[in-house]
A and B are shown apart, each in its own frame.
Chain A
Amino acid sequence: MIKESIYQQYKDSVVNPALRIQIEILDEDYHKNKQKHMDSFQKIIEQFLQKTTKENLTHVHLSWLRTNFWLKQELQYTLESFNENWIDDCKPDIEYFDYTWLLPYMLKFYHMLQEETTRKFAFIPKISLERAFYEAFPIFQQYVREVIRECLLQVQDSRLSELNFRVGEYHGISELMYTGQRTKENPRFELIHRAPQEYFAKDVSDMPAESLEYEKIILPKIHFNHCKFDHSIFKEGIFVGSHFEDCSLQNCSFEFSFLHDANFSRANCQGTNFRSIAGNMDLACAEVPSYYGISFREANLSGCDFRLAQLKGVDFTGANLEGAKFFAEQRRYFPFTAKQNSQIHWMREEEIA
């Protein structure tokens, strides 16, 4: 029997490093092969919608199953269709299908856990190892969730426009991916996809645009390479998945912006305001830099303000954080290097007052 404190220590020294390695590899695969997986899921969803004979179809739910992984080490998913009673509908149409994209990564993670546990924490019982593995299960599955979020935009079925599509645990917590009404129920969907088509320029290289004042601007998934946006104001904007690689963003303001999956690698963000930005999805793991976080690799973040920013999954590898402002409470969430730790200006509430 182990105490909770020992389990946390085990997680910090064995589970999270192993998870970080696998998620980084998976993340690369996700960016390379996203379109392929989107096409596969599109086919599966379209076939299911054609097959289902449900009257008053209002909800479709895609869930991942842990039981099949437990029994046969397979990754199985279900698609269920419900009527207006939603979860109280006792006889949903249900279809099971296998999709093995994440399986090698999860198995590798499990084997790594076993090896490292034997080497470093031999006294940890098997049930604690399995608990650690099943806790990481949704972190892998969020890649499927994100693929489906984008794939639903491609699905060609008239019924989709009238229903709610959810992805999550089997008869458990799930997230609304798509809603026929497209109201405030799913603000994130609105935020990502309501942008007019003309904004979806693939590459806006070398666009000189200093001192812009665009509040609430929506510019998702755009590649701004080598652009100059010094002293610009992008308050409450949406830059989900946008690339600011090698851009100059000195003294800009991104306050309250949505920035998950944004890439600021090698950008010069000296003195930029990142206060209260939303920089992650819900389930992202703080210790694992991943798709859901922002990439600040090798960026110049000297004098930036990160107070109250949601930064789970953010990647600060090689970034210059000289004089960057963080709340002292945020210190334990990120794996800063010793050098970065000493550079950061850790602020306390008394100091602000």
Chain B
Amino acid sequence: MRYFEVKERTDIGYVMRLTTIEPTTINHRGTGWLRSYVNPSAQESIVDYLMQNQRPMVSDNLRKILDYYEQEINDTRVYTIYKGAYEKGDHENTPDYYFIEPRSIDAVHEDSVRDHLGNLESLILDQSKLEYARIFCVKGLKENRWFITLEIAEMLFRNHITGFTVEEIETR
């Protein structure tokens, strides 16, 4: 099985970002709904995957695909509200977004290289611990990194999901 890390693309020019994110209601899990005001300009692309406040955020389209493969993903909905000179009619395709938190798996292989402070320099995943895992985070990583299998990467490319790129991760 091949695994890929999902990353945000930086080579696609101007991308619409959410400016302020405010909590509205909090549910029993403490996650709640959020709202954000957007004012996309004509030059900005609306993409399906963003890193917002250093957390992965996905559009409704992307979330549906991820949901199909893995139901144990915690997500927090962010409603986007139009504010500014542009009317909604011009930007009716702007999606609501979701902060996602895939489940964490302790899958760092012992051959992974660490520096003297214990930070990972090169990550190698342990194949034996990833059986049946398709979308996941890895325990012990400081950064907010998440991974998918080849099957899902193909699905994302087929469905023209934008704003992301993938990098293959070695497994043993």
Q: Which residues of A contact B (CB under 8 A)?
A: 1, 4, 65-67, 70-71, 90, 125-127, 130-131, 134-135, 169-172
Point out residues on B near A: beta carbons under 8 Å. 4, 11-13, 16, 40, 42, 44-47, 91, 93, 132, 150-151, 153-155, 157-158, 160, 162-163, 165-168
* A67, B45: Cβ atoms closer than 8 Å: no
Distance (whole angstroms) from the CB of A142 to the closest CB of chain B: 15
Q: Are A1 and B91 closer than 8 Å at their CB atoms?
A: yes
**A4: nearest residue on chain B (CB-CB)?**
B93
Complex: A135 Cα to B157 Cα, angstroms = 10
Select one of B91, B154, B160 contacting A131, CB under 8 A.
Answer: B160
Q: How far is the CA of A71 from the CA of B165 in the complex (A)?
A: 9
Which 9 pairs of residues, A with B, have the shortest CB-CB distance?
A66-B157, A170-B154, A127-B162, A131-B160, A171-B151, A125-B45, A67-B153, A126-B12, A1-B46
**Nearest CB of A to B50, in Å:** 13
* Most chain B beta-carbon neighbours within 10 Å: one of A127, A131, A134, A169: A127
User: Given B12, B162, B166, which contacts A71 in the complex, CB threshold below 8 Å?
Assistant: B166
Contact A67 B150 (CB under 8 A): yes
In contact, A1 and B45 (Cβ under 8 angstroms):
yes
Chain B residues with CB under 8 Å of A65's CB are 150, 154
Contact partners of B167 in chain A: CB under 8 A? 71
- 27 A-B contacts (beta carbon < 8 Å): A1-B16, A1-B42, A1-B93, A65-B150, A66-B158, A67-B4, A67-B150, A67-B154, A67-B166, A70-B165, A70-B166, A71-B166, A71-B167, A125-B12, A125-B13, A127-B45, A127-B47, A130-B162, A131-B160, A131-B162, A135-B160, A170-B151, A170-B154, A171-B151, A171-B154, A171-B155, A172-B154
Q: B46, B91, B157, B166: which has the most chain A beta carbons within 10 Å?
A: B157
Chain B residues lying within 8 Å of A130, measured Cβ to Cβ, are 162
Closest chain A residue, CB of each to CB of B13: A125
State the CA gap A139–B17 with chains docked (Å).
35
User: Known interface pairs A1-B16, A1-B46, A67-B150. Does A127 touch B163 (Cβ–Cβ under 8 Å)?
Assistant: yes
Please report the C-alpha to C-alpha distance between residue A26 and residue B167 in the assembled complex, in whole angstroms. 31
Question: In the complex, what distance in Å separates the CA atom of A170 from the CA atom of B93?
Answer: 29
Report the minimum CB–CB distance from B153 to chain A (whole Å): 5
